[in-house]
Structure 1
Amino acid sequence: MNMFLTKYTQYLRLRRFGTLIILILFTGLSLRANAVTVLLYHHISDTTPRITSTTPGEFAQHLQMIEDNGFEVWPLSKVVRYLQQGTTLPSRVTVITFDDAYDSILTTATPMLEKRGWPFTVFVNSAAVDEQHRHIMSWQELNSLQDKGGELANHSHHHSHMATRLEGETEEQWQQRMHDQILITKDKLKQHTNSELPLFAYPYGEFDQPLQAIISELGYVGFGQQSGALSSALDFTALPRFPAAGVYANPKTLRTKLKSLPMPIKSVEVLVGEDQSGLTSYAVKKPSIRITLEPGDWRLSELACYVSNQGTGDITNIDTNNNSFVVTAKKEIITGRSRYNCTMPSQEGGRYHWYSHAWLRFNAQGELPTD
């Protein structure tokens, strides 16, 4: 188990009346001082699928917005190092990341970033590079990014749904397959680019607790696709990033996310919704979590929580003495990936505390997503 995982996060699994409750405890570190946002991109193009694309015009607006709002752009590896060490960061730092090694990162995004002298990180799925998939950079092109401010990191070999077990696959076989998916790309990055950054991005942002344990065992810091600001108090096997493509490319809404601060969370208790692996069965239609904040004068009356594809969720059991509340979906959540996003205005005008809880729910056939 990695030092930072045991230092910053503990998992306690308790059974009450036959119901599994997962309690995530966070340390009371300075959230404001060590707040940083990470932006997630894929294609920078107006000819690729919209859901994973940010147009060059939108990307230019994003970069200008970062500058206009006084943010420093740091390499992801530097941010992680500061957070692991508990070193104070400036109050406005952001990181630019790309998944999947698309060629538009080289041809379109890199010149725009290089002009500003801003670093960035590309998470590479190595099979697509080896097989020379369309719109994917070659190893030579990826290697060239390192002279232009780019970092290269691990996104698995095949970009598969890693939390999914194959039919007839034992847990031991799955664990070995996951090790292979990560270590193959680790070796290829070392071989072709000499990059050895211990940073990993989950394909599709999907993970469960056994996969997080593997990430920790192999010495990686893991990143998902749930939103929120980074802080030293979070779980370093499942750090958040803000997607900035498709509907999330709107500069007006992205500005609020860019300026977000970590929610001052003391604990998150899953009342209904997850099994021992951290997955959600089809039988669970409306998951429920209790969030407890660190002691402080927080603006609970202005708290808002949103459910993927639904709008606002129900906020109940607000306890102002203990700074706690319960969040539940109003309607059945979708199968596959969904999120509860909670925000609360900070004392610093124009900035919001943000927390996102990711759900990965089985469908009626007992299967996880395949797209």
Structure 2
Amino acid sequence: MIFIKLVWRSLIFIFWLIILFSIKISANNTIVLLYHKFGDQRTPSTNIDLNIFKEQMLYLKKHGYKVISLKQLINTIEKNKSLPSKSVVITIDDGYKSVYFNAFPILREYGYPFTVFLSTKAIEKKYPDYLSWKEIKIMKKVGADFQDHSYAHYALGIIPNHMKEDEYREWIIEDLKKSRAVFKHYLGYEPLYLAFPYGYYNKILISEALKLGHKALLTQDPGVVSEDTPLTLIPREAILGKEWSTMKHFRYILERKDLPIIEHYPEIGFLKKNPPFEIWAKIKYPKRYVKESFGIYISELGWRKAKFDENSKKVFIKSIPFLKRKINRIAITAKEKDGKEAVNFWMIILP
């Protein structure tokens, strides 16, 4: 009788191990924050009020969030290790002077690491609103990280109307090579990470950036980083403007989770068929989610209730109208069984 009970308990234990493995409940997530300007009311759409920024940095400390460097995040994913729980990465695009005069003293006070993606032409040409090399080197000396945001800040993810594909590739290469040369000349190294200008990307741009030596690429797609996130499409949560810089929005995005996807249609980048016959995504861990909660978002069309097929593990919608907007973001959303919202975004572009 005792033997039977032991066998039965062992079988139950093995059963729950299998369930936990298939759901992968314990996976940690990291939020990558994206800022631009600090306390600069001239451009409210890309600015955050300085008092709100201070409040956000204090919130991270008071609520036990661990601010890690972008390098640590990328190395952890590369080595297939677990991400730290409640972790956050701080990134800043363009390299405006308000980074040095307004954000840097606050970040230094808390000891938070941060990465600035530099638009190198603006800095090399000494545009008035941009950082100087002296300011960059002062921040770098105390641990700030500087990476690539392209040379001229062109919308590299969109093919100009007059260009053929080979010309387009050369245009990308020329710009990114210039930027890498500027880094080498002024800072003594070539950048490892690229944040896509305007957040626009496609497969051609990704391919050329990797060939030149960038080992991680960052978008402006909303979302959360997990161990399943590809290093070529790291999402970032933009904290700017009237709505997206508020504490309400800040607390909301910190609670979201990644929704890992195996494959999806349409693919990233240029849309091959308009309208697409359907939009779908194959979910990697379907048992994590309340199946009735799946939704699909398209920028141009808004949110739609999605269907979930148990056999194929696909979430999908059909009857898509002709798309007119040049850039659309698509998102898959769902509620995890613990109530947390999970998301996964990608971008499509009309050719």
**Short-chain TM bin:** 0.7 to 0.9
1:1-371 residue pairs with structure 2 within 5 A? 32-220=26-214, 221-246=216-241, 247-270=243-266, 278-280=269-271, 284-285=274-275, 288-295=278-285, 296-308=287-299, 310-316=301-307, 318-327=308-317, 333=323, 335-348=325-338, 351-362=340-351
The alignment-based identity, stated in percent, is 22
Which letter does structure 2 place at the counterpart of 1:304? Answer: G
Asked if 2 retains the 8 angstrom alpha-carbon contact of 1:100 and 1:124, the reply is yes
Q: Note the residue ranges of structure 1 that are not aligned, 5 or more in a row.
A: 1-27, 363-371
The CA deviation at 1:292 is 1.7
Instruction: Point out which structure has higher relative CO (alpha carbons under 8 A, 6+ apart).
Output: 1
Q: Give the secondary structure class of the aligned counterpart of 2:252.
A: helix
Root mean square deviation, CA, Å: 2.5
The CA deviation at 1:212 is 0.8
Per residue, is there more strand in 1 or in 2? 1
The CA deviation at 1:110 is 0.8
Classify 1:92/1:154 alpha carbon distance in 2 versus 1 (closer, same or farther; 3 Å). same
Q: Give the secondary structure class of the aligned counterpart of 2:54.
A: helix
The CA deviation at 1:138 is 1.1
Which letter does structure 1 place at the counterpart of 2:306? Answer: I
Partner of 2:12: none
Measured in 1, the distance between the counterparts of 2:218 and 2:39 equals 24
Measured in 2, the distance between the counterparts of 1:237 and 1:32 equals 24
Deviations 1:344-365 (A, max 9, x none): 222445x322111212235xxx
Classify 1:356/1:47 alpha carbon distance in 2 versus 1 (closer, same or farther; 3 Å). same
The CA deviation at 1:334 is 5.0
Tell me the matched-pair count. Answer: 327
After TM superposition, the structure 1 stretch with the greater mean CA deviation from structure 2, 213-222 or 92-101, is: 213-222
Measured in 1, the distance between the counterparts of 2:162 and 2:292 equals 50
Q: Give the secondary structure class of the aligned counterpart of 1:90.
A: coil
Deviations 1:287-326 (A, max 9, x none): 742112124242122233333254322423x213443211
Relative to the length of structure 2, the TM-score reads 0.84
Relative to the length of structure 1, the TM-score reads 0.80
Classify 1:329/1:146 alpha carbon distance in 2 versus 1 (closer, same or farther; 3 Å). farther
Deviations 1:77-108 (A, max 9, x none): 11101101111122211101011001101111
Structure with max Cα Rg: 2
